[in-house]
Chains A and B, each alone.
Chain A
């Protein structure tokens, strides 16, 4: 049996706010396979964004096991986590998080800098990605000169630049009109069919429909029976 790309066993995350401990994720167990497209839904405060951050190695579990590509994450240093993120994971955010002073091309190149890729190869890769997402003619535009849908596609191009094993999307359609939203979801679906895993966090039911697998979260735990 194939090994899952990401494997969680009894993972919990608790935040400390002043004097109070806030359990955001409680005892979640979950496998994500290669090429699997999973949607994670739930009301706000359910912990779905926190779970996304844990899977994306942006944060460490307070307890439990998290295994990425066969490696237990708790044993890894900050630097190693950064490397893994940079090489295997691409993020798409609700608010796009593009660097406003850089062109679309420079934004897409950005992650490649930290992989040590030389400038010429970076440029080439960035242009390929933008072409793939239909934005080749906007390569020199700044985010401020692009529509919401275009910005999210640049963000997607950036996420794809490193050729990641997994895309993590946190409410990607939240700031988009329905048409742009559909375009973006269609692309994510296509990426999954090419063999990349996609974990989608959303409370938009239309977006969730693109995912073959939908998980629901409430109060920090997964509801079974998806």
Chain B
């Protein structure tokens, strides 16, 4: 019997084609919006985390100044390097230096370069557009924008703080990746790289750094090494610094993104609810228009619940169809949005939307529920129509 009622419902929905399509469109749009937002959001999250992990992995510690940007602290990188479980220590020290080049002179950031930094830059796929890397003292590698501004290329000599340096390389231009290096305070495109020893010589005094990145040996006991590092730094005189692991940062990013996503999805959800209101409207109209039909059905033996089922099936069906089509539309929308955003913000198509089975099933289920729930009240009204009145209805 349920199958028969379902078939009756399907027939009813298909017969009123225009009206049904208009109703379905409401659910379709709402579902598409939710699906697109969630799949783009998840893609973004995965991409950001992948980038972070590519550089840092889960076994990296970041020592940063307490009190935010601009602070500095003293750190004894050598002592930390000796600790068990520590693979690499990269101090990041940038000083503003007076640079005199062929085309221009001015104050620019000078970055101290270590072997650890080389690995870091390599992991970010930052290569050279000309020349080679630093090998000896009194050599400099320029960021892309700096080289153009100063008018230098490999072979040129520039004066840094009145000392002569030979330019041996120029870095490739980067866009999307600077964010990550920027997090560690390294000006890739606007800076000048010299060996750390050169930097210390130009700026004598205590070795005050902006950041220290510590890479742990894979499989090391993170908790224990964290404690060792902390103790070592404190004992060697470091104050005004705080330690974060990239795992903490990743979790922080994830939870922020999740929060934003939930908020946006909630807003998109509103449009889905509006679609539900559309279903409710259509079904109430249907009840009014089909009063005689219902009266007849009851006259020939239909019980209240039969009428209820028929109307619920109709609204649920419109929900599911809207949901299925909205799912497809949402995927298309997500792909399109990512490509447009990639072009507009120069992301080079860095991330792809994530389409999970859970999202698809969830969207279908939710759209069916919205459809069915919106149809409940009208269906109840239909089922309660007294047969005699219904047949008397004009």
Contact = CB atoms under 8 A, between A and B. Distances in A.
B391 A82 contact: no
Size category of the B interface is: 20 to 34
B300 A111 contact: yes
Nearest to B300: A111
Interface in A72-116: 78-79, 82-83, 85-87, 91, 93, 97, 99, 101-102, 110-111, 113-116
Contacts of A58: 298-299, 386-388, 391
A116 B301 CA distance: 11
B388 to A, nearest CB: 4
Contacts of A162: 300-301
B304 A93 contact: no
B11 interface: yes
B301 A115 contact: yes
A109 to B, nearest CB: 9
Contacts of B5: 113
Size category of the A interface is: 20 to 34
A111 B206 CA distance: 96
B292 A82 contact: no
Contact of A87 (B293, B301, B304, B386): B301
Interface in B7-48: 8, 11-12, 15
A158 interface: yes
Nearest to B386: A59
A86 B306 CA distance: 13
B82 interface: no
Contact of A114 (B12, B300, B391): B300
A158 B296 CA distance: 11
Contact of B301 (A85, A97, A119): A85
Contact of B296 (A99, A101, A113): A99
Given A58-B391, A101-B11, A78 B4 contact: no
Interface in A153-203: 158, 162
A56 B300 contact: no
B391 to A, nearest CB: 7
B394 to A, nearest CB: 10
Contacts of A91: 299-300
A97 B392 CA distance: 11
B300 A158 contact: yes
Nearest to A155: B296
B103 interface: no
B300 A110 contact: yes
Nearest to A122: B4
Contact of B293 (A85, A99, A115): A99
Most B CB within 10 A of own CB, among A59, A97, A116: A97
A53 B1 contact: no
Contact of B391 (A79, A93, A116): A93
B296 A97 contact: yes
Given A59-B386, A101-B15, A114-B303, A82 B293 contact: no
- By Cβ-Cβ distance, the 7 closest A-B pairs, closest first, are A86-B301, A111-B300, A58-B388, A114-B301, A59-B388, A53-B388, A101-B15
Given A59-B388, A85-B298, A114-B302, 20 more contacts: A59-B386, A59-B387, A82-B301, A82-B303, A82-B304, A83-B301, A83-B303, A85-B299, A85-B300, A86-B300, A86-B301, A91-B300, A97-B296, A111-B300, A113-B5, A114-B1, A114-B297, A114-B300, A158-B300, A162-B300
